[in-house]
Amino acid sequence: MKSQKFDPKNIEKLDRPERATWQGIEAFLQILRPRPGMSYADIGCGPGYFTLPVAQRIGPAGKVYAVDLQPEMLSELARRAAAGGLKNIETVRCEEHRIPLPDDAVEAACLANVYHELARPLDFLVEVRRILSPGGRLILIDWRPIETPMGPPLEVRIPGEAIVRALGQAGFARCQEHDIYPYHTLIEAG
């Protein structure tokens, strides 16, 4: 199956106000538990829906790596961070199978609404595991394979059980699903 990337021309779809009703930030933050001084990577960060609230909570002593394949997304996120006075965010352009961060770089990472776009998801999960410090956690959020009023085509969506299997193959020993979103699977893996 060919992967399909989100078109940055549709950036406004990532910011629509109703997103808070089906993918609320506060529910995500309760699982992530950001704390001052934390290191965090938002992989496939887009314009910063999850990135900016985390950066605010971890404060100036913390470090957020905003990672994306698309320079348009990184530029918009940098603009928003500057407008909000956030200086703890570093934008990082990744490649399809490589995140240019050192081993053990972050305590936590988020991969939201990206998994279904990956051409080689297992390879990418191994790369995410590499940048997590020992005991680090990944919060993986992706579209459930159900009909929804928006989102990617049903045929590219991946069942949660398949994602959990891939996480295990990539070296994540613990996986816990959290049923907090109506249209998305959320898996916390460590």
Query: What are the extents of the domains in the chain?
Result: 22-189
pLDDT at position 25: 96
pLDDT at position 10: 66
Helix (H, G, I), strand (E, B) or coil at 43: strand
Q: What is the CATH number of domain 22-189?
A: 3.40.50.150
| Of residues 105 and 4, more confidently modeled | 105
61-79 in b/e burial notation, b at 16+ Cβ within 10 A? Answer: ebbbbbbbbbeebbebbbe
The tens digit of pLDDT for each residue in 61-111 reads 999 999 999 999 999 999 999 999 999 999 999 998 899 999 999 999 999
The tens digit of pLDDT for each residue in 134-171 reads 999 999 999 999 999 999 999 999 999 999 999 999 99
> What's the whole-number average pLDDT of the chain?
94
pLDDT at position 1: 43
